[in-house]
Chain A
Amino acid sequence: MLLGLTGGRLLPSPRRCLLHCRHIKSAATAASGVGDGVLSAFRSICGEEGVSLGEAVREQHGKDESVHRCRPPDVVVFPRCVEEVSALAKVCHKHRLPIIPFGTGTGLEGGVGAVKGGVCFSLRNMEQVLDLHPEDFDVTVEPGVTRKALNAYLRDTGLWFPVDPGADASLCGMAATSASGTNAVRYGTMRENVMNLEVVLADGSIVHTAGKGRRPRKTSAGYNLTNLFVGSEGTLGIITKTTLRLYGIPEAMVSAVCSFPSVQAAVDSTVQTLQAGVPIARIEFLDDVMIDACNRFSSLSYPVTPTLFLEFHGSEQSLQEQVKTAEDITQSNGGSDFQWARDTETRNRLWKARHDAWYAALALRPGCKAYSTDVCVPLSRLPQIIVETKEDLIENRLTGPIAGHVGDGNFHCLMVVDPNNPEEMHRVHLFTERLARRALAMDGTCTGEHGVGLGKRALLCEEMGPVGIQVMRSLKDTLDPNNLMNPGKILQREEP
């Protein structure tokens, strides 16, 4: 198993030469996958510069930040408005060409790989922030607008969009994968914060999932189409606009770090803090392996034991209350003294360890790649699953520091693995399956925030059960009978 290998490199061994040849062959046949008539139709819709057959461009649009190898599309188109998206989709529909929507390529599950070739719709030229209504706390954005760009735009309105998956992802892409982040415990995930979507379906028709331009804070009107498309990962339609719920920027923020003697103590503190009604904004767990990696990478000196990173948002008075309550709880669970910070610079220093976790994990074994698992279980089962997972890691001699959004019961093992060691790759693969099944056995899910993409289709079947999968398949067949929308993701193709 070779990870992340993009073609075009001259490699010595025979097996790798074969891969190289396969790449050359695929480049030669790529253009023939899409006929000249279709290409000129594309060009007449989005202009000459809006259609690209270049190898580098196609490769760039065939991979994301996961470990899945690059699967380039046959052609990349760059529409500038929803009418162009619709026209392009109609052409693809007529010629039965697969359609793969592309935002920023920051996904973690291989969702943009063109497994059957086809047309990648790169939506980065649609980058307007439309319709901001500060009094109503909502804004509508196009797919090219990323999370950080939106928050920069909003900075002088006093509002922000708090869903923070780490990467500077496209907001419509975040809607497509139902992204979440470190703030979810207080502000929710995309499912709670998307109010309306404009979606182009496989046949080019444009649907507004809550009605055109509508943005009531709540509704009981008809089927919940908005949340049907949130998390559909491009398999039901192309999201071209999303209306988002905004929040006021907190008056003040306080961050804190607390070390615990055991995983159980750390998670118990989390549960008790939530039960005490503290509206904590971020509560992140790092296990001892992770803390050790962070200490080395960022030259810090946290005690090498399970640690919680906390952040509180609110007014000055409410912060005092929140911090006091949280401190009492952590002390009662054997936590060390709260190290806390109020001003921006110190807070950033405190959080640096958590933010650099990915790189710190990679630095543990230079030359290796990292893969993040992503399971989510009910809070009460979290201590058990983390303890069992750590035992599994030790038993199988795997490097897997753990970082988690424990407020949601979601944690990630950052598996650091040598891509040139197939035996280790195999062990990692089996480990991730065991982990997912462990989570499913505890009433949880195999993917808390990253999505199903390519790698978790079989696990989705186990999670949903046959009837659930059948309902999903029926919806897919209704909205996309020719299976043109991002084929090969979420649902496995039925064997005829």
Chain B
Amino acid sequence: MSGRVLVGVKRVIDYAVKIRVKPDNTGVVTDGVKHSMNPFCEIAVEEAVKLKEKKLIKEVVAVSCGPQQSQETIRTALAMGADRGIHVDVSGKDYENLGPLQVSKILAALAKQEDAQLILLGKQAIDDDCNQTGQMTAALLDWPQGTFASEVSLEGDKINLVREIDGGLEHIKINTPAVITADLRLNTPRYATLPNIMDSLMNNETELHKPNHRTSLCVGLIPLFETVAPEDMQGGTDRSGAMLRHTVLQSGLGLHTRSLVVFSIGIGKNKTKLGTV
């Protein structure tokens, strides 16, 4: 086994920031707003670095898909102990349409290219709450998956995993190579210390990849059509799935059969996610 672990890290709006919707309702305000690594990705990086410190794996490679600024997120991962970074450059319109399906295709392609033994991801991102990338990546690679991991231990070429599920804790044993997604109680991520941050700034350990070059990237799916702040919603919206599907098809968006669109409807001040259509 190569002993290489790919860790996916996503640059998101910092968890402590109060989110504001743009005046034209096309999205949320991101300019000048503090961004940082998704907290679940931090936990994934910490787990990877811990495995390396225990000498169970040999190399930690941090991967991020996004515009130029994603390199800051990769640098944070390097400062926490990752060895190398890969920045998949996705910007502009492509970045707006970047979702779990595209990211999982990129990760699958990189995993094959880098001969990865393990892919560690956060269970979900705090901006879209999709909780899909890990599962899709495993499906594309036909690898076993251990999602919502709260304990991970490597035993030879198998992994013992404890998952946090609705009914409690589930103990499973999966083969490698595998995809693991980190849940909250897996570990407490270390702070990147100043000397390590300075080191990561000086070393140029990050490769740049442009999609459609070596990795296959499927972009151009249905764009988000409207983002509305909860206060603007009228009450009494029908929540049934059938009604929803009808509305979407009626709008003539022509859904691609392989695409996924996530809907959220707010009733008054409560925003509920209805899942996918």
A: residues with CB less than 8 A from B are: 149, 152-153, 155-160, 248-251, 344-345
Contact = CB atoms under 8 A, between A and B. Distances in A.
Interface string B64-98: 00000000000010010000000000000000000
A155 B191 contact: yes
A159 B36 contact: no
Contact of B36 (A156, A248, A250): A156
A250 B16 CA distance: 24
B172 interface: no
A251 B16 contact: no
A249 B191 contact: yes
Interface string B21-52: 00000000000001011000000000000000
B92 to A, nearest CB: 25
A315 B192 CA distance: 14
Nearest to A159: B194
Contact of B197 (A152, A157, A344, A345): A157
Contacts of A251: 193, 195-196
Interface string B195-237: 1111000000000000000000000000000000000000000
Nearest 8 Cβ contacts at the A-B interface:
A158-B194, A248-B194, A158-B197, A249-B191, A251-B193, A156-B76, A249-B193, A155-B191
Nearest to A158: B194
Given A158-B79, A344-B188, A153 B193 contact: no
B193 A250 contact: yes
Contacts of B36: 155-156
Contacts of B198: 158
A149 B107 CA distance: 34
Interface of B: 14, 16, 34, 36-37, 76, 79, 188, 190-198
Contacts of A158: 79, 191-198
A319 to B, nearest CB: 13
A262 B179 CA distance: 56
Given A153-B16, A249-B192, 9 more contacts: A153-B14, A155-B192, A156-B79, A157-B194, A158-B192, A158-B196, A158-B197, A249-B191, A251-B195
25 contacts: A153-B14, A153-B16, A153-B34, A155-B36, A155-B191, A155-B192, A156-B37, A156-B79, A156-B197, A157-B194, A158-B191, A158-B192, A158-B194, A158-B195, A158-B197, A159-B194, A248-B194, A248-B195, A249-B191, A249-B193, A249-B194, A250-B193, A251-B195, A251-B196, A345-B188
Contacts of A248: 193-195
A248 B194 CA distance: 6
A152 B193 contact: no
A155 B195 CA distance: 14
A160 to B, nearest CB: 7
B180 to A, nearest CB: 20
B45 to A, nearest CB: 11
A149 B188 CA distance: 17
Contacts of B194: 157-159, 248-249
Contacts of A160: 191
Contacts of A159: 194
B29 to A, nearest CB: 15
B16 A152 contact: yes
Nearest to A156: B76
A345 B187 CA distance: 9
A4 B195 CA distance: 48
A250 B192 CA distance: 10
Contacts of B188: 344-345
A152 B34 CA distance: 12
Contacts of B34: 153
B16 A156 contact: no
Contacts of A345: 188
Given A156-B36, A156-B37, A149 B16 contact: yes
Contacts of B196: 158, 251
A351 B36 CA distance: 30
A148 to B, nearest CB: 10
Most buried by A among B79, B191, B196: B191
A164 B40 CA distance: 27
Nearest to A250: B193
A345 B46 CA distance: 14
Contacts of B76: 156
A160 B191 CA distance: 10
